[in-house]
A and B are shown apart, each in its own frame.
Chain A
Amino acid sequence: MFRPGGYLYSFDPGGIRQESDTFSCAHCNRIVIVRPKCDPADLGGMCRLCVKMICPACVDIGFCDPFEKKLEREEKSYHRRKILGL
């Protein structure tokens, strides 16, 4: 995979080491394991708005909601609650 978001190592019984690339969904942060020679459609897809790889569940949602924006919303809400003493 070109510019993977992570790497997975499996140390199996018998000393066999398996390796896979992974990427983190740009919308929900889920780790998607890229199996060798798998169908690209099974991996999810590319969001054409944020131009990043997304997982199959986020492909089905059908709109762009970047994970960074979700974090910012969560943090803003937390700070509002904190200021209000809730």
Chain B
Amino acid sequence: MAKYGITNGSTSGGGTQQPTTAAYTGAILGLSSSTTTARRFKIYDVLIGTNGTPADNFIEWDISRITASSTTTVLAATALDSADATALTVATVNSSTFGTITSGSNVFYIGVNQRASYRWVAAPGGELVAPATSSNGFQLRARSAAYTGTCTGTLNFEEQ
């Protein structure tokens, strides 16, 4: 099973990082199954943080399921083993919209100090799994009542 990584960093063609707002308006990273060759994928590593001016604010982070991805910048996820084929999973980054969120489907939610960074790693069998269904996947979002800067995220996933 091939493993891939995707970030919303300043990769060429990765779009512009979106400001954080009080409501979920944009999405930092999104992963969804291809519309032509759908394949199950599993997120096993999530890293989140901020790259704005440091201050003591809280940020709420959320990963929810989506049934349609946002329509903005699509990036090819990087294979962690360069011998692996290109990922079939569609990765969207720095999006001002977040596609179609499935109501009540947030699988990860945490409030974090703006100065802190977080990492979640799944043990084998504890990954976030998306079905092999066209456009289904996950969206990483952030919101904050006070912080208006940009956020950073990295998702590592494997395809089955």
**Chain A residues at the B interface, C-beta cutoff of 8 Å:** 3-13, 22-24, 28-31, 33, 67, 71, 74-75, 77-78, 82
- Chain B residues with Cβ below 8 Å from A12 are 113, 115-116
> B128: which A residues are within 8 A, CB to CB?
24, 29, 31
B131 touches A9 (CB 8 A): no
Q: Is the interface of A mostly helix, strand, loop or mixed?
A: mixed
The CA-CA distance from A83 to B119 in the complex, in Å, is 41
Nearest-CB residue, chain A, relative to B47 = A9
Decide if A13 touches B107 in the complex (CB within 8 Å): no
Q: Is the CB of A5 within 8 A of B119?
A: no
Contact status of A29 and B129, CB under 8 A, knowing A7-B120, A7-B121: yes
Contact A11 B133 (CB under 8 A): no
B107–A10 touching, CB < 8 Å: no
A75–B132 CA distance with the chains assembled, in angstroms: 6
Residue contact B136 to A6, C-beta cutoff 8 Å: no
Within the assembled complex, what's the spacing in Å between the Cα atoms of A75 and B107? 19
Q: When chains A and B are docked, how far (Å) is the Cα of A23 from the Cα of B128?
A: 11
* C-alpha gap A28/B63 in the complex (Å): 13
Report whether A4 and B126 are in contact in the complex, using a CB–CB cutoff of 8 Å: yes
Across the interface, do B123 and A6 meet the contact criterion of CB distance under 8 Å? yes
